[in-house]
Structure 1
């Protein structure tokens, strides 16, 4: 499971000799390659003396995929692994407390918290794939514009246009106060009726300041559905139950049951939008 940004990851490895037995190495080095390709070398030591099992503690500083490389000498051995770090504030429709309450798990039970958080993040991404951004975030996207009267942003609802800058110099290309943004369609146009042109970087906020009850209810249904798959058969079967999936949805397989799809219908994006 992904680690939270700023948490400590305990890295583990074993040094094996040519006969595959655990052996104390002459030297042990561990290198962590961060998402930006910089590296860190936390101190590695045997977990217990003469065990051949090594550990190192690394404090996470960047979100994303990290690669871990262990190298041992005397005997020569190596081991490669990886781990993921969550963003500072990963978007989730349901909080951990809400999710546990819906699953009827006591707040004091924490052994499956990481699993549930993984589900809530996945559910949010699935719903946003159908309905566009739900959690408000800042988006940046490039558009090549050749004297067009409008530009259509890709993620809606688009709440606020923060800036429009030219590429590659980054200078302000059009003052945002001179532009109009339609939140529902993402269409940007000049208030004076003129045209937009150039390779432009649009920075804007997208999402829903208020998450409506139908979206929250759909997230709970999907959570319950996915939770059930961990308690029984791996694939839900069609039938007449509350969590039926009549047919797999493109891009989502059997993850979203019919009840959730119906609740999300008022917010579904047209094909090719979002």
Structure 2
């Protein structure tokens, strides 16, 4: 995972039939961007025999697929890479995660790998809660057969940005639409009712992320980090769940308890 605007290097080592490094007579690179369009950056001549390197400056967030085909010798290579948005969605910061893992200020070697756990932990917390935690823009389409209400799917809703039919032929003034932030229930207070395929754009998430949500995310990150390295003890941080390398639970029970409004069996 790299940041939007950073450089991704396509790196391919080319060899001839005998396995010796060889500069290709030709090389064509195609990158399929997240929006489905393609680009074909020029491939410079290798500075080291057989080592084809192309630096590509990323311009879109999302999954990229690339394919490099060479001639003389004839070879083909393909791979993918992911680019995260300019404003990545994470409940906690890199500094918070590093502190949770007791990493010192100079222990930055694993920062890029550690950041990859943020999205996983954030998704796990939001699924457990059934609500959006990290503030972001949501665009969702509703098929409405002339009604004065609609139920937005992602809560809590912070603000409604726009409401318009998919073809853009009809728009609704957001001042005439009232949204209950906790339930997502949208009502038309005046004007025409909603009708057709309506795209709602709105902001959802927590204005202030509660401490228990943040701690749960840190516990999940720590658990995933340590189980990947096979360094957990016999028990998972005091839980009754036992662990052996290669097996276990993605979300420790203590993290789920922080996210649950009440424990099972407690009145």
Bin the TM-score by the shorter chain. 0.7 to 0.9
**Uncovered stretches (5+) of structure 2, i.e. residues with no partner:** 243-247, 263-267
Whether the aligned pair in 2 keeps the contact of 1:17 and 1:77 (CA below 8 Å) is no
- 1:76-225 maps to which residues of 2 (within 5 A)? 76-131=74-129, 132-172=131-171, 174-192=172-190, 195-225=193-223
The TM-score with structure 1 as length reference comes to: 0.85
Task: Count the aligned residue pairs.
Answer: 255
The TM-score with structure 2 as length reference comes to: 0.87
Whether the aligned pair in 1 keeps the contact of 2:91 and 2:217 (CA below 8 Å) is yes
Q: Distance in 2 between matches of 1:255 and 1:180?
A: 39
SS at match of 2:2: coil
Q: Distance in 2 between matches of 1:64 and 1:161?
A: 25
**Uncovered stretches (5+) of structure 1, i.e. residues with no partner:** 247-252, 268-274
Residue 59 of structure 1: aligned partner: 57
Deviation of the 1:220 alpha carbon: 1.4
SS at match of 1:161: strand
Q: For each residue in 1:32-84, what CA deviation from the matched residue of structure 2 results, as whole angstroms up to 9, or x when unmatched?
A: 22222221313332141xx2121111111111111222222222222112211
Residue 260 of structure 1: aligned partner: 255
Compute the RMSD of aligned alpha carbons: 2.4
Query: Using a 3 Å threshold, how does the CA distance of structure 1 residues 171 and 158 change in structure 2: closer, same or farther?
Result: same
Whether the aligned pair in 1 keeps the contact of 2:128 and 2:256 (CA below 8 Å) is no
